[in-house]
Amino acid sequence: MRLLICVALLCACGKQRAERPMDIQSHVALQKAATCDDLARTVQDTAVRQMRSQLDLAKDGSFYGVALPAAGGAPAAGGVPASYTTTNTQVSGVDEADFVKNDGTRIFVLSGRKLFAAASWPPQDLALAGSLEIEGWPGSMFLDGDRVVIFSSVWAAPAGSWAPVPISACAVDGGGCFWGSATTKITVVDVSDLASPSVKSELYVPGYAVGSRRIGTSVRLVLSDSVRWPLGIRWWPDYDPNVWQDKDRFAAAIDALENANEAIIRGTPIGAWFPPAQRKIQGGALVDVAYQCSDFYLANAPERLGLVTIATLDLARLDAGISRASIVGEAGVIYATQDRLYLAAPHWWWWTLAGQRDFTYLHEFDIGDPAHAGYVASSGIEGHPGDSFAMDEKDGFLRIATSTLSFEENPAQPRSFRTVAGSRLTILKADTLQRVGEIPSLVDEERLTAMRFLGDAGFAVTFRNVDPLVTLDLSDPANPRKVAELTLPGFSTYLQAIDATHLLAIGQELPLDGAGHPDWSRRAVQLSIFDVGDLAHPRRTAQHLVGTASAYSEALWDHHAFNWYRPDAKRPGLLAIPFSDWAPQGWIGFTSDIRLFSVDPAGSIADAGALGMNDVYVRQGNANWTWWYRPWVRRSVMATSDAGESFVYAVSDAGIRAAALDKLPSPLATVLFPLSTP
């Protein structure tokens, strides 16, 4: 779990701490726990090291306070279309969960605490068929034939002496904020009868979902969970002004507290640190599915104490429940192919000491078996990947782009530090994760904002004041090379390959002011086409600005909202993105719709209209919208009939609207979801 720390960076400058950070581990490996004693020893040793390091921060006054950790976790009729869009995913054949799923004739939406099922083809007959209340807070799902697999968050009351607290309130006691424990519920729903969806399987797995993938009938859910720290652990001494104002006496009080905490940690059995999963059997009873010590892998790398689990559910064998492979450590970015799943976990570095640098531990798992995940290899790389698109596997090599960050002495201000950013590319051999090639610097002192791999080429976007599009030749894994930079104002956040030589990008246009700095008052959502057929001479062949300085699109940060569609190669493609903008005119000034653009890879982007739901959110919305209900448009679906006519569906938490592409102002049908409350 994450302890809540307020660190006064400058206060720590130049002071020697009692406990130095652990060095980066260059030879990384996971070892399966041979016995429960091995697992207990690893957990206890890591907990003691983390606890002592945290409390040692107090000895030199380099923190304002440490919050006491919670006992639990951190907070179809009418035929079928000729073609249609589905969830935008990174790897072919590897599905990604989202809150909207469709199969051409049916659209499923998670809104509030319900699953809504709509018959969607033909579009003029769009109608809500049925719904089903889902326990907890449903966030994403998979669609596999007539089964929907839903992931929802369920909050359990803290264990031990702490009184249960509602999710809407925060109980504060001595500076601590105590929430319940995070649990992810996996609900498998039969939707063969669209009017009456029914639950077929219910599983409760400790932790919150950080990512998931589906290959065929095999669902992989990666969870991050907190260990259950013993309730007797304390994170600061009792307040006594005579002690707290005397450096030596305060240090002695910290030492005594650390010793008392260690005694508690060493005396806490392994079963108390990790809760079991649960399965609901016929009749509604819950049965514990306890962790097995043999499910755990122990890392030799310094990661924060936590639990990362790859839970596997084979939809072809629901009665078998889940299998688990767990690591004592932290979760980070995940990337998966049809055969491999990679976990990128951060090195634990909290100290403001010169020479500290960002580092990632990479773990590879074999997911070829639909029912299990097996450990393959580990490695370490400089920096950290921003998202899954920073990783790519081709011809037995894993390419990974990372942003880097390090602490250095600040020559302009003695006894203080400065952070230095950068970016790099590393190539490793899959199955061994041995390093075979690298580009140490993509652009000096600039972090990555977007990355895309396309065959033997790579394309990186970095940002400080301007946006270089960097082209990379990766045809020789042992000798990757940076080829060229195209420098433009602003930056891109997502790159979509629309053919073999062109990228379609979304990002921010940021004109420079007279001093050469970004002028955020003139920002706009930006679409660009890049011709990358010649790596030595990349060109932007089209730019299109959308909206005002208040404009926003969820597609800027979530690729599932970026909907690229080209059913006919003879015609330009279509891009649909959810879009919102704001003018200070009350409800009239708020715009939320699906914006459509005609995109010709040869070099043009043109407006193709908008499908909005203003009347829906004006009628059903109010100034007190909550985090669980956002009636503005967030996703789109596009489909084409056998006659070649294209249709657009706008999807929000409030409902679904369908229209013909050439008659967007005159919707064919609108479905409204009954408002549900948490």
- In single-letter form, the type of residue at position 41 comes to R
Q: pLDDT tens digits for 34-90? A: 788 888 888 888 888 888 887 877 765 544 333 333 333 322 334 799 999 999 999
Structure tokens of 102?
Answer: 């469709």
Q: Are 254 and 24 in contact (CB under 8 A)?
A: no
Check residues 61 and 461 and name the one with the higher pLDDT: 461
365-391 residue pLDDT tens: 999 999 999 999 999 999 999 999 999
Decide if 38 is inside a domain: yes
- State the amino acid at position 369 in one-letter form: D
Average pLDDT over residues 10-29: 52
**Is residue 53 domain-resident?**
yes
Q: What's the pLDDT tens digit per position in 90-119? A: 999 999 999 999 999 999 999 989 999 999
Least reliable range by pLDDT among 352-356, 443-447, 548-552? 352-356
Strand partners for 393: 398
Mean pLDDT, to the nearest integer, of 126-144?
Answer: 96
Which residue stretches of 359-466 are H helix? none
**Amino acid present at 232:** G
**Percent of the chain at pLDDT exceeding 90:** 50
Please tell me the total count of domains within the chain. 1
123: pLDDT confidence band, cut at 50, 70 and 90?
very high
pLDDT of residue 618: 54
Q: Residue 52 domain-assigned?
A: yes
Residue 620: inside a domain: no
The span from the first CA to the last CA of the chain, in angstroms, equals: 26
Give the residue among 276, 255, 111 at the shortest CA–CA distance from 627.
Answer: 111
For residue range 585-635, what is the model confidence (pLDDT) as tens digits?
544 567 889 999 999 998 899 999 999 887 776 554 444 444 445 568 999
Cβ count within 10 A of residue 520: 11
Spatial neighbors of 325 by CB under 8 A, at least 6 apart, are 295, 297, 309, 310, 312, 365, 372, 373, 374, 375
Nearest to 154 by CA among 223, 219, 85: 223
The residue written with tokens 């100034």 in the block is: 623
Angle between helices 36-56 and 247-266 (to 10 degrees): 170
- Given a cut of 50, is residue 538 above it in pLDDT? yes
Residue 65 included in any domain: yes
Does a structural domain hold residue 630? Answer: no
Query: Do the strands 374-382 and 340-346 form a parallel or antiparallel pair, or are they unpaired?
Result: unpaired
In a domain, 542, yes or no: no
Residue 63 lies in a domain: yes
Amino acid letter, 484: A
Give pLDDT, residue 65: 35
Q: Which residue has the tokens 């969970």?
A: 225
Q: Domain limits at 244?
A: 5-69+233-268
